[in-house]
Amino acid sequence: MKILIKNGRIVDPSQNLDSHGDVLIEDERIARIGSIDDREATLVDAKGLVVCPGLIDMHTHLREPGREDEETIATGARAAIAGGFTSIACMANTEPPIEGEGGTRFVLTKARQARAAKVYPVAAVTKGLKGEALAEIGSAIKAGAVAISDDGLPIRNSSLMRRALEYVSIFGKPVLAHCEDLALSGNGVMHEGEVSTVLGMRGIPAEAEAIAIARDIMLAVLTRSRLHVCHLSTSQGVELLHEAKRKGAAVTCEVTPHHLVLTDESVRTFDTAMKVNPPLRSQTHVAALRRALKQGIIDAIASDHAPHALEEKDQEFALAPFGMIGLETTLGVVCTHIYHEGIISLRSMVELLSTNPARILGLNTGTLKEGSPADVTIFDPRLEWVVEPSQFQSRSRNCPFSGWKLKGKVVTVIVDGRIVFREGEIIGGS
Amino acid sequence: MKFERTDLLGLEDLTPEEINFILETSESFVEISERPIKKVPVLRGLTVVNLFFEPSTRTRTSFELAEKRLSADTVNISASTSSAVKGETLKDTARNIEAMSIDMLVVRHSAPGAARFLADVLSCPVINAGDGSHEHPTQALLDLFTVKKKRGSIEGLKVAIVGDILHSRVARSNIWGFTKLGARVIVCGPPTLIPPEAESLGVEISYDLVRTIRDVDIIMMLRIQTERLKECFFPSIREYAELYGLDSEKLKSAKSNVIIMHPGPLNRGVEITPDVADGPYSVILEQVKYGLAVRMAVLYLLSGGEFKGENSDQKWSDS
């Protein structure tokens, strides 16, 4: 089967490409880019649209196994394509955690059955995510895990973190680190600052993140291993990563859309949709993150999609769980508030959402080079729409952008040469 | 004049005019508690529920008495007897109570924002009787009222709030109240118990009690909770008392007409010595007394009552 994408603006940073033209897909692979006519092929008109390597969300939480009421691997994979992602990586903090060969295979099997976005498991660093002993990292990676992480539960023990970094370097994979000094963040429920003082809520100081980032950078340098810092949220963290990169350390980092556009002012109404970890920071930090994005200090944008049941979010702020969903809003929010506001170019946007995540996780996607898997996202950067969580594919509704008017939306998604999303509809899948 | 709000959740978003209006209305309710028969029919037929998720003697009793003296029917629900222990959510508890057609809810809860959360869910007026470390508006109103009775006006006064500012809803509400009415507020305590970026609340910060009390008109001592010791906010009760406890020795440097306040309950010998608490500058029991009048006024105004002025023939409209 052949698909011909006609007249799109093809943006592929992996081959330094930004030009108008056509993309031919044949037998699940990219066959050719250029000015192409092919009568046998299914036509996809991309006039006025951007055609780029399939977007990759390298940080999501699917709640299967354990909390299938909040999200399953299948619903998460469908939410991904509805948001323009052809691939997602899912974190290990399920119940039980994704650990070793068994857990990894479970995710891959479920993902295959879903026939939506590709789902790459991230396996646990420590047994049961308890932070006490190493999990079977090698078996997990051999079974298909793309990285390891105890995300959500930072590894307190510096010696264990050191061992994890050392050990995973056998396989050339990074540790995705949730950097937080738990003693310092204590019982905090929001960013520590003026707003937490007014509201009388326990704060999480920016330093809780920065101290942990500093530790992990030092351990990465010590062990000559790869460290990827998850959901960067502070100006101090930006400075530490900038400095480490300048010195040539093998560190990368990601930022979420919500940390780029929302501040702790959103918490003033005690809206639990705004409760997330790391917390929404003050304007100074948001400005620093946006600057860092512009300067190229940040490698990836990831949603940190964290589904939660309605009833768990619908209670007192202090009791509600941390987390917000983002698979179906990330492209729109980044397009509207980062790209259209002139912080980054279209090319950078594709780098942050596809090229770099693929490189960090060692995936064979994130490119439109001839012969690579035909994972393609086609989006309209000018299409305006209103965020309506009740319409989401995700099983959860804890979205902080409800009612927002956004500019930029996915039009067509192709995974392994199969059109899975077209004109707002998911095609096939289960 | 009528009070235009449907709930009293905090002082942060009240205007100085609204605060003054509540204080003026409160004045008219003081004499009720001085009558031989301490009862007026202004809330007759209305049901008020006092929903307390945290232990409280003073505030709950004060609300209950205020309600009874206004002839409301009252029900007290405390956490130990409510469904909270059975795992029912706050929202469900409140909706169930409202389904029984109540007219007003007074709520105390350990979570900041809990009163607002309920006000958003319920159609009846909600009065915040303390939500975590956030606000305790009726306490601040009664403190303002007490000072006004003593000094005639709040404007231009200098107020020191001393102790655990970090965890204190009383401090926050009083900071809003006093600064809105034109007083200067200094918060004083160990740096561990001063919230981050406290200056943004419009207050000055001091770590030195002796120096602070020299030129203030009001010293408001806050209760220090012994649980804070476990979290290492200070090394010992003894050392806390030495540095931040108010005793007659430290008081020597204060103004001769200084007013000493405390929201209670007192930790005698910790933040305040007995001779100071019971001494001539203390207005602690007057705070309790005026608390009743202030809460009557709040209940009355939120029930939709009008206040027609002290010299009117009929000060209050019947419900």
Which 8-state DSSP code applies to residue B231?
Answer: T
Residues of B in contact with A316 (CB under 8 A): 90, 109, 111, 113-114, 117
Residues of B in contact with A194 (CB under 8 A): 196-197, 200
In a domain? residue A368:
no
Which 8-state DSSP code applies to residue A51?
Answer: E
Q: What CATH number did the domain enclosing A18 receive? A: 2.30.40.10
- Give B173-200 pLDDT, tens digit per residue: 999 999 999 999 999 999 999 999 999 9
Residues of A in contact with B230 (CB under 8 A): none
Output B307 or A153, whichever has higher pLDDT.
A153
On whether both A202 and A237 belong to a single domain, the answer is: yes
- Give A168-224 pLDDT, tens digit per residue: 999 999 999 999 999 999 999 999 999 999 999 999 999 999 999 999 999 999 999
Mean pLDDT of A116-145: 97
pTM higher than 0.90 for the full model?
Answer: yes
Residues of A in contact with B200 (CB under 8 A): 194, 197-198
Contact B28/B307 with Cβ under 8 angstroms? Answer: yes
On whether both A23 and A74 belong to a single domain, the answer is: no
Q: Which domains does chain B have, with CATH numbers?
A: 16-136+290-302 (3.40.50.1370), 137-287 (3.40.50.1370)
The partner residue sitting opposite A203, judged by closest CB among B132, B172, B196, is B196
Structure tokens given for B147 = 């000072």
Q: Cβ of B116 and A270 within 8 Å?
A: yes
User: Chain A residue closest to B196 (CA)?
Assistant: A193
On whether both A58 and A46 belong to a single domain, the answer is: no
- A418-422 vs A405-415, strand pairing mode: antiparallel
Mean pLDDT of A404-422: 97
- Residue A350, domain extent: 54-361
What H or E segment, with its residue span, contains residue A113? helix A100-114
Q: Which ipTM was obtained for this model? A: 0.91
Residues of A in contact with B12 (CB under 8 A): 198
Return the sign of the alpha-carbon dihedral for residues A81, A85, A87, A92.
Answer: negative
User: Which residues have C-beta within 8 Å of that of residue A409, sequence separation ≥ 6?
Assistant: A84, A331, A332, A335, A379, A380, A383, A385
Best mutation target, B89, B93, B139, to test chain A (most A CBs within 10 A): B89
The DSSP string of A209-274 is: HHHHHHHHHHHHHHHT--EEE-S---HHHHHHHHHHHHTT--EEEEE-HHHHH--GGGGGG--GGG
Per-residue pLDDT at B307 exceeds 80: no
- Among A269-273, A285-289, B79-83, the minimum mean pLDDT is found in B79-83
User: Chain A residue closest to B115 (CA)?
Assistant: A316
Q: Cβ of A196 and B132 within 8 Å?
A: no
In a domain? residue A367:
no
pLDDT at B81 (0 to 100): 53
Nearest CA-CA distance, residue A259 and chain B, Å: 21
Residues of B in contact with A270 (CB under 8 A): 112-113, 116-117
Please state, for a pLDDT cut of 70, what percent of chain A lies above it: 100
Q: Cβ of B114 and A196 within 8 Å?
A: no
Q: Cβ of A197 and B196 within 8 Å?
A: yes
Mean pLDDT of B124-137: 97
Residues of A in contact with B198 (CB under 8 A): 197
Contact A194/B200 with Cβ under 8 angstroms? Answer: yes
Contact A388/A93 with Cβ under 8 angstroms? Answer: no
On whether both A24 and A122 belong to a single domain, the answer is: no
Mean pLDDT of A86-107: 97
Q: Cβ of A316 and B117 within 8 Å?
A: yes
Q: How confident is the model at residue B83 (pLDDT cuts 50, 70, 90)?
A: low
pLDDT at B4 (0 to 100): 86
The partner residue sitting opposite B134, judged by closest CB among A200, A203, A311, is A200
On whether both A145 and A246 belong to a single domain, the answer is: yes
In a domain? residue A91:
yes
Q: How confident is the model at residue B84 (pLDDT cuts 50, 70, 90)?
A: low
The partner residue sitting opposite B197, judged by closest CB among A194, A199, A269, is A194
What H or E segment, with its residue span, contains residue A23? strand A17-26
Size of interface A-B (CB pairs under 8 A): 64
On whether both A206 and A297 belong to a single domain, the answer is: yes
Q: In one letter, which amino acid is B173?
A: S
- Mean of the per-residue pLDDT values for chain A? 97
Q: Cβ of B133 and A311 within 8 Å?
A: no
In a domain? residue A106:
yes
CA-to-CA dists, residue A198 to A97, A165, A270, A324, angstroms? 38, 41, 12, 24
A interface with B, Cβ–Cβ < 8 A, is 192-194, 196-201, 203, 205, 269-270, 311, 314-319
pLDDT at B82 (0 to 100): 56
Q: How confident is the model at residue B85 (pLDDT cuts 50, 70, 90)?
A: low
- Give B5-52 pLDDT, tens digit per residue: 999 999 999 999 999 999 999 999 999 989 999 999 999 999 999 999
Mean pLDDT of A394-419: 98
Residues of A in contact with B92 (CB under 8 A): none
Q: What angle (nearest 5°) sits at the alpha carbon of residue B37, between those of residues B34 and B42?
A: 90
Nearest CA-CA distance, residue A268 and chain B, Å: 9
Provide the CB-side half-sphere exposure for A89 (13 A, CA): 31
Mean pLDDT of A352-376: 98
The partner residue sitting opposite B91, judged by closest CB among A270, A315, A318, is A315
A304 is catalytic: yes
CA distance B290 to B300: 15
On whether both A143 and A234 belong to a single domain, the answer is: yes
Nearest CA-CA distance, residue B222 and chain A, Å: 16
CA distance B207 to B47: 46
On whether both A250 and A315 belong to a single domain, the answer is: yes
Which 8-state DSSP code applies to residue B145?
Answer: H
Best mutation target, B93, B107, B126, B133, to test chain A (most A CBs within 10 A): B133
- Give A24-72 pLDDT, tens digit per residue: 999 999 999 999 999 999 999 999 999 999 999 999 999 999 999 999 9
In a domain? residue A244:
yes
Best mutation target, B169, B197, B228, B231, to test chain A (most A CBs within 10 A): B197
What H or E segment, with its residue span, contains residue B116? helix B114-121
In a domain? residue A366:
no
pLDDT at A1 (0 to 100): 84
- The structural domain count of chain A equals 2
User: Chain B residue closest to A267 (CA)?
Assistant: B113
Q: Cβ of A198 and B201 within 8 Å?
A: yes
Q: Cβ of A193 and B196 within 8 Å?
A: yes
Which 8-state DSSP code applies to residue B184?
Answer: E
CA distance A53 to A33: 12
User: Chain A residue closest to B11 (CA)?
Assistant: A198
Q: Cβ of A197 and B109 within 8 Å?
A: no
The partner residue sitting opposite B113, judged by closest CB among A196, A314, A316, is A316
The partner residue sitting opposite A318, judged by closest CB among B91, B112, B196, is B112
Q: Cβ of B112 and A270 within 8 Å?
A: yes
B interface with A, Cβ–Cβ < 8 A, is 12, 89-91, 109-114, 116-117, 131-135, 167, 169, 172, 195-198, 200-201
The residue among A271, A361, A293, A346 whose CA lies nearest residue A60 is A361
On whether both A237 and A113 belong to a single domain, the answer is: yes
Mean pLDDT of A387-392: 97
- Give A324-342 pLDDT, tens digit per residue: 999 999 999 999 999 999 9
The partner residue sitting opposite A318, judged by closest CB among B111, B135, B167, is B111
Using omega within 30 degrees of 0 as the cis cutoff, is the peptide bond preceding B265 cis?
yes
Q: What angle (nearest 5°) sits at the alpha carbon of residue A186, between those of residues A218 and A66?
A: 90
Q: What CATH number did the domain enclosing A294 receive? A: 3.20.20.140
Per-residue pLDDT at B287 exceeds 90: yes
Nearest CA-CA distance, residue B116 and chain A, Å: 8
User: Chain B residue closest to A183 (CA)?
Assistant: B231
In a domain? residue A12:
yes
Per-residue pLDDT at B262 exceeds 70: yes
pLDDT at B80 (0 to 100): 65
Dihedral, CA of residue B42, residue B45, residue B46 and residue B50, to nearest 10: 100
Q: Cβ of B113 and A317 within 8 Å?
A: yes
pLDDT at B311 (0 to 100): 67
On whether both A96 and A112 belong to a single domain, the answer is: yes
Residues of A in contact with B114 (CB under 8 A): 316
Nearest CA-CA distance, residue A267 and chain B, Å: 10
- Give B215-234 pLDDT, tens digit per residue: 999 999 999 987 777 888 99
Residues of A in contact with B113 (CB under 8 A): 199, 201, 270, 316-317
In a domain? residue A174:
yes
On whether both A356 and A379 belong to a single domain, the answer is: no
On whether both A71 and A114 belong to a single domain, the answer is: yes
Q: What angle (nearest 5°) sits at the alpha carbon of residue B85, between those of residues B80 and B91?
A: 105
- Candidates A150, A216, A264, A304; catalytic one: A304
Which 8-state DSSP code applies to residue A324?
Answer: B
